[in-house]
Amino acid sequence: MSDDSTLDQLRQCADDTFRKLQGLGTESDLADAKRLVEELRNAREYPCMGRLAEAVSRHDPKDPRNRRLYAQYLIETGKATAAIDLLKPLAQRLPKDHAEFAEATGLLGRAYKQIFFDAGDKTSAGSREALKQAIMAYRKPFEDNPANTWHGVNLVALLARARRLGLRVAPDLKPQEVARKVVVALEATPENNRDEWFLPTLAEASLGLGDWDAVERNIRAYAANRDTKAFLIASTLRQFREVWDLENVDDQGRGIVAALRARLLELPGGGLDLSPAELHNVRAAPPPTDGQLEAVLGVQGPKTFQWWKTGVERAVAVASIRQQLGGRIGTGFLVRAGDFGLDPKDELLVLTNFHVVNEHGAGDGIPPAGAEIVFEAGAPNQLYLVERILWTSPPDRHDASLLRLKSPVTGLEPLPLAKALPVLEDTVQVYIIGHPGGRDLAFSFQDNELLDHEGPPAGKPQIPGVCRVHYQAPTEGGSSGSPVFNATLWQVVALHHKGGKLSMPKLNGKEGTYGANEGISMLSIRDAIATDHGRLPT
Amino acid sequence: MPHVTFIHGISNKPPADDLLRIWRNALANATEPLPLGDLGVTSSMVYWADLLYEKPEEDSSAYEGVLENTAEAIDGAGDAPLPVPRTPQEAAFLKGLRARLTTLSDKDLATTEPPPVPAEPQGALERVPLPWFIKKRFLNAHLRDVHHYLFDVEFALPGKPPVRIQRTIRQRFVEALGAINVSSPHIVVSHSMGTVIAYDCLKRVGDCPPVDGLITIGSPLGLDEIQDQLQPGWTRDDGFPHEKVRGDWANLFDRLDPVCGFDPKLANDYRKSGVAAIEDLAVQNDGTWRHSATKYLRQASFCATLRRMLGV
């Protein structure tokens, strides 16, 4: 069973249990709900998790585990102060030797830490106070029991950050000494008791000691593993970037972050959000040496990084489509006219969805005269206007509009088109680069499992001349008009046009629906344009 | 859409699906990546290890092991026993093939101490800097598997009915080439003993479907002992299987590969109407074990050759 269908089942199960708790709700339903809250947390299904945790709280308001998980939902969805209001009384009422006490105080530290990192000005009084509170929250459980190494390692990281900022917090603590205690506690853990967090924690504690060789060695021990999990890499990456600010320390730190970023995107379930400025920095930064990439990611490290750099370069040709004097309404990307059989062959055009830009602004779309196009990573200060729509196909067919711009695009490379759809074998990944709704300044690199398509050899297109592609629905909607890339070569295989949480009918005559995104094969768009213009692409 | 049919070589292997995935991944992770699936190229594997080995290797990471400290990592998985010849002809074949690999006696190899390094002449395996307890597993598998195929031995695994090895593998190869999901251009990629099987079928099995190209890697087809067993069918002047191979035949070899290094080039031995028609390509695999299929698959010249034949 794919991860996608497992996720669908989990969501369905959570919905069913939620409805039961809204009714009479038995003890058994309550127990199921408590288990599901944790499973939803592990799957990062936060909205669903929060709704169920709220329902559990109404039935069993004193369950400390559920309260703590509820607080985690609040933190993950940007409500850190509400989480603090929940966690403080929880920590106060729990006995110090209760298993949930250390968890609740640690999470309290996490909430304050989030407030600090979300602050634009890290030196403001509010953010300094949050940093101070976070340090205090992590300190107590670690000093009570050094086996609480995740508290300890966060304490090390925050102390180091406070010292760099010149803040006088916990002056009696020296980050290196705390780091040493964490390393000692970790190394004393019997091998069969070491969980999946052991190596990431050891790597971070080694950073506190300034032992770069140990940092790279410990990261490699899990990051280079073929079966490593995306959330482990994501966690290390977040700590190293946000807490340690490693990219601004030195080249070695920057190299580690770059390597982790590349590895994260490579893994199933991995994904990255970068602001245009971050994307610019990633492009501009000197690449890590092959030696460092091998030290952090193993022998495949240089290749993994090169692959990621190619993806970054592709992002440069991805544009946001904006309504004049309004906000961003979709995504588009740069293509070469000759790839669609159009002249002049080397003219650069923009492809997006019909429902984003169409002649009369039908549906939620806008007319070409009202559209502005900005390549936010490639030419952020240059605004392009649309001269006219060269070719268009409505949403029930290709949902595509090919735009000619008023001024020529220079200095940017068009996206290469794949000559075939990926073969459906094993687990096939595709990648989407776009600007999802709700995060107006973010480029999102999403990894998605390819579910099905109507292309050769087994596809049975239902709409003549249209070949649809289905891939796993991301946790977030949006990205209309984004390019969908094949996994290895970063060539465009489809134009993304819609998503469905659970209601997307399956393709090729298969019964039922699933949670899927839908794109239109670039080959079918190319062929439709070539047919309409009576010539073959060159 | 283009299709690649792979066929593997000697010794036990991971399960068929895993082996196909490993080979595809090797191409996708090559220096010049050739991700077949992303390029719209379908692929399949002619799997025959299950005829000679009880169950597949479960630890596929050992098969891919870069440390080369296990028999699995050097094409020696499965603990095959030495074959027992049934006729003087088979005995002569085994003796000749063995001599290509080692000049050490069975007695030398049976001792627990490292066998003495012989003075000249040395066999190919003597030059491989790995312990003999690993190399011996490869030697046995090589002799057993090649012998059982070429002499069509009737062989039974415990609890299973006996099967004729050559006949059954030929059948699988022919069926795979004619499968409904196979379309043009269709290229056969064969490794080690798989090159012998592919050649045998394409040259000597009448109802074998035609293909558009053939690639052999780490092939023992250059050895006289093998060529002798491919008659009738093979001749030096007309050895190219032009009846069934419509396009090119490319052969990749590493001179330090013990299987093919003794006589690595094929162009002169498999001519088309007396003219050399095979493209022999020398490569240099990494590590101490140069025969590994995935090392050949990752070579830039391999990927370039396959890409050209597939037209992608």
Check pLDDT > 70 for residue B126. yes
B224 touches chain A (CB under 8 A): no
Give the end of a domain, one of A304, A329, A355.
A304
What does the DSSP assignment read for B25-53? HHHHTSSS---TTTTT-EEEEE--HHHHS
pTM equals 0.85
- Residue A444's pLDDT is 76
- Residue A2's pLDDT is 44
What's the CATH number where A484 sits? Answer: 2.40.10.10
Q: Are residues A254 and A345 in the same domain?
A: no
Give the end of a domain, one of A277, A304, A331.
A304
For chain A, the domain total comes to 3
Domain with CATH 3.40.50.1820 in chain B: 3-63+161-310
For residues A297 and B218, what is the distance between their CA atoms, to the nearest angstrom? 30
**Which phi and psi (to 5°) does residue A351 adopt?**
-105, 130
Chain B residues with CB under 8 Å of A428 CB are 37
ipTM of the assembly?
0.84
B88 burial type by CB count under 10 A (0-12 exposed, 13-18 middle, 19+ buried): exposed
For residues A332 and A437, what is the distance between their CA atoms, to the nearest angstrom? 14
User: What residue spans of chain B are helical by DSSP H?
Assistant: 16-28, 49-52, 60-63, 88-101, 106-110, 132-150, 165-177, 193-204, 224-229, 293-297, 300-310
Q: pLDDT of B129-188, one tens digit each?
A: 888 888 889 999 999 999 999 999 999 999 999 999 999 999 999 999 999 888 899 999
Contact B101, B125 (CB under 8 A): yes
Determine the CATH number of domain B3-63+161-310.
3.40.50.1820
CB-nearest partner of B312 from A419, A421, A486 = A419
What is the CB-side half-sphere exposure of residue A254 using CA atoms within 13 A? 15
Residue in chain A nearest B35 by alpha carbon: A488
- Residue A5's pLDDT is 57
For residues A477 and B75, what is the distance between their CA atoms, to the nearest angstrom? 49
Chain B residues with CB under 8 Å of A453 CB are none
- What residue type is assigned to position B83 of the chain? P
Q: Are residues A207 and A256 in the same domain?
A: yes
Check pLDDT > 80 for residue B195. yes
- Residue A477's pLDDT is 54
SS3 A326: coil
Q: Are residues A327 and A299 in the same domain?
A: no
Contact A393, A470 (CB under 8 A): no
For residues A188 and A497, what is the distance between their CA atoms, to the nearest angstrom? 53
Q: Are residues A333 and A282 in the same domain?
A: no
Q: pLDDT of B54-84, one tens digit each?
A: 999 887 777 766 677 788 888 888 888 899 9
Give contacts of B 44-73 with A, CB under 8 A: 61, 66
Neighbours of A329 (CB within 10 A): 23
For residues A409 and A351, what is the distance between their CA atoms, to the nearest angstrom? 14
Residue with tokens 């970023």: A261
SS3 A417: strand
Chain A residues with CB under 8 Å of B38 CB are 418, 422, 486-489, 491
Contact B283, B311 (CB under 8 A): no
Q: Are residues A383 and A443 in the same domain?
A: no
Q: How many CB pairs under 8 A join A and B?
A: 54
Check pLDDT > 80 for residue B217. yes
Q: Which residues contact B134 (CB under 8 A, 6 or more apart)?
A: B69, B70, B71, B74, B76
- Residue A439's pLDDT is 56
Check pLDDT > 70 for residue B236. yes
| Strands B213-217, B3-7: pairing kind | unpaired
Q: Are residues A436 and A528 in the same domain?
A: yes
Range of the domain at A463: 429-533
Q: A286 lies in a domain?
A: yes
Q: Are residues A440 and A520 in the same domain?
A: yes
Measured between CA atoms, how close is B249 to chain A, in angstroms?
A: 25
Contact A365, A355 (CB under 8 A): yes
Q: A141 lies in a domain?
A: no
DSSP B248: -
Chain A positions touching chain B (beta carbons under 8 Å): 226, 299-300, 303, 418-423, 425-426, 428, 455-457, 486-489, 491
- Residue A244's pLDDT is 92
Q: Are residues A390 and A437 in the same domain?
A: no
How confident is chain A (538 residues) per 10-residue block, as mean pLDDT?
62 92 90 94 86 95 95 94 96 91 94 91 88 94 92 96 88 95 95 92 96 95 87 90 88 94 87 86 92 93 94 94 87 96 95 96 93 91 96 96 96 96 90 74 77 94 96 70 94 91 86 90 96 69
Contact B40 A423 (CB under 8 A): yes
Q: Are residues A434 and A518 in the same domain?
A: yes
Q: Are residues A492 and A516 in the same domain?
A: yes
Contact B264, B270 (CB under 8 A): no
Contact A420 B21 (CB under 8 A): no
pLDDT > 90: percent of chain B = 76
Contact B212, B312 (CB under 8 A): no
- Residue A49's pLDDT is 94
| Tokens coding A397 | 């067919």
List beta partners, residue B188: B5, B214
Chain B residues with CB under 8 Å of A418 CB are 38-40
Q: Are residues A344 and A300 in the same domain?
A: no
Give the end of a domain, one of A270, A304, A338.
A304
CB-nearest partner of B1 from A226, A457, A491 = A457
For residues B152 and A47, what is the distance between their CA atoms, to the nearest angstrom? 64
